[in-house]
């Protein structure tokens, strides 16, 4: 411990004491170590990588353990807002490192002796230990990219993590029509990273493809509010809207007859476009909406253009119909 204190007194960590303590918040819930998700793609389970530490366990969990792999110590408190931001970011990065580094989370309110020994002046405070010695550190909530860089400074450049690999595998299974495997992989992803938008959106889309719009909607509700505008999220929401607009084949035929009889009936053409999109006749749907824009751009408060954007979200940005449709829409709007 004396060597550690000497390191800290020399300013070995990047930022100890560089800022004031975070202001208390009214929220009382803390940020303990994550519950263990299922092991993924051969990666260690979170319970093997992340644990809560204390005054009594510090020597065993940190000093001794760091002789095997680097150990990161995250000092936090339940009232600390930045701690709540940083905690999940560090946990995700540690899991992605696949056992190359471990994380010990220490509640400074419950472990004042350790806080004094580490000379903690501001939280969140993060220290990295190797071979029983502190070697690096920082203070404050850093973005995910900087946390990853911090870990790579300890263990070298990280390759794709298990989350990225599983996303690719799930998408490949879905593209191949193996929906059961895709669903299983997305489910494992959500266990590892509960707020992963791509995994939740993928799972929701699978439910929707199976005709279970209710479960798709419930799955989307698990997406964190700050990620609600993510492109994958918007795509599934748009697909849900299309599914809700599906009509029996007979009604679609009636709408087609109305448009054929009166090409200037924009409402009938609009309703037909929505029905065609819901039935999977995407190019025809886009054609009809573009025709409305061509004839009366501002009809019904720009409804045709807005519906086109909804369709493009549902189809995905790389879909051929989306790419072509956006080009044609731009040509009409800026002609």
pLDDT digits (tens, 9 = 90+) for 48-87: 789 999 999 999 999 999 999 999 999 999 999 999 999 9
Which one is catalytic: 80, 123, 126, 273?
Answer: 80
Domain with CATH 3.40.30.10 in the chain: 2-155
Judge whether 327 counts as a catalytic residue.
no
For the entire predicted model, the pTM comes to: 0.51
Q: Which of 23-32, 143-152, 301-310, 314-323 bottoms out in mean pLDDT, i.e. has the lowest?
A: 23-32
Domain with CATH 1.25.40.10 in the chain: 162-233, 249-333
User: In the predicted model, what is the mean pLDDT of residues 223-241?
Assistant: 87
Do the beta carbons of residue 273 and residue 299 sit within 8 Å?
no
pLDDT band at 33 (very low <50, low <70, confident <90, very high): very low
Please provide residue 127's backbone torsions phi and psi, each rounded to the nearest 5 degrees.
-125, 145
| pLDDT surpasses 80 at 334 | yes
Query: What CATH number was assigned to the domain covering residues 2-155?
Result: 3.40.30.10
Angle (CA) 92 78 118, round 5°: 80
Which one is catalytic: 13, 83, 151, 192?
Answer: 83
Distance CA 203, CA 40 (A): 17
Instruction: Please list, in sequence order, all residues whose beta carbon lies within 8 angstroms of the beta carbon of residue 223, skipping any fewer than 6 positions away.
Output: 195, 197, 200, 201, 230, 233
**What pLDDT shows up at residue 94?**
87
Structure letter (DSSP) for residue 227: G
User: In the predicted model, what is the mean pLDDT of residues 296-301?
Assistant: 94
Structure-token match 């190019």, residue found: 283
C-alpha dist (Å) from residue 269 to 99, 182, 240, 290, 302 = 58, 37, 21, 10, 14
Both tokens of 326, joined, read 């956006």
Which one, of 138, 164, 167, lies nearest residue 151 by Cα?
138
| pLDDT surpasses 80 at 116 | yes
CATH architecture of 162-233: Alpha Horseshoe (1.25)
| pLDDT surpasses 60 at 234 | yes
Query: Which fold does the domain 249-333 belong to in CATH?
Result: 1.25.40
Judge whether 90 counts as a catalytic residue.
no
């Amino acid at each position: 411990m004396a060597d550690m204190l000497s390191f800290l007194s020399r300013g070995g960590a990047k930022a100890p004491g560089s800022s004031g303590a975070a202001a208390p918040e009214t929220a009382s819930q803390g940020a303990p170590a994550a519950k263990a998700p299922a092991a993924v793609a051969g990666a260690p389970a979170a319970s093997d990588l992340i644990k809560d530490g204390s005054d009594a366990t510090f020597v065993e969990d940190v000093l001794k353990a760091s002789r095997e792999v680097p150990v990161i110590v995250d000092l936090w408190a339940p009232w600390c807002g930045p701690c709540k931001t940083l905690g999940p970011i560090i946990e995700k990065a540690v899991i992605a490192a696949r056992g190359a580094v471990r994380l010990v989370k220490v509640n400074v309110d419950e472990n004042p002796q350790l806080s004094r020994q580490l000379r903690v002046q501001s939280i969140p405070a993060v220290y990295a230990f190797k071979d029983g010695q502190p070697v690096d550190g920082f203070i404050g909530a850093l973005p995910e990219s900087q946390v990853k860089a911090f870990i790579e400074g300890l263990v070298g450049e990280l390759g794709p993590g298990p989350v990225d690999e599983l996303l690719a595998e799930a998408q490949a299974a879905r593209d191949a029509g193996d929906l059961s495997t895709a669903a299983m992989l997305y489910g494992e992803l959500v266990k590892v990273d509960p707020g992963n938008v791509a995994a939740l959106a993928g799972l929701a889309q699978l439910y929707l493809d199976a005709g279970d719009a209710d479960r798709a909607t419930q799955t989307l509700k698990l997406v964190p509010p700050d990620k609600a505008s993510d492109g994958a999220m918007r795509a599934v929401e748009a697909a849900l809207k299309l599914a809700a607009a599906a009509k029996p084949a007979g009604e679609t035929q009636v709408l087609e007859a109305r448009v054929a009889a009166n090409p200037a009936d924009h409402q009938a053409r609009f309703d037909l476009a929505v029905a065609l999109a819901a039935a999977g006749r995407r190019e025809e749907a886009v054609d009809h909406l573009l025709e409305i824009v061509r004839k009366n751009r501002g009809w019904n408060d720009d409804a045709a253009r807005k519906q086109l954007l909804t369709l493009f979200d549902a189809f995905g940005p790389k879909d051929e119909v989306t790419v072509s449709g956006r080009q044609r829409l731009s040509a009409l709007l800026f002609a």
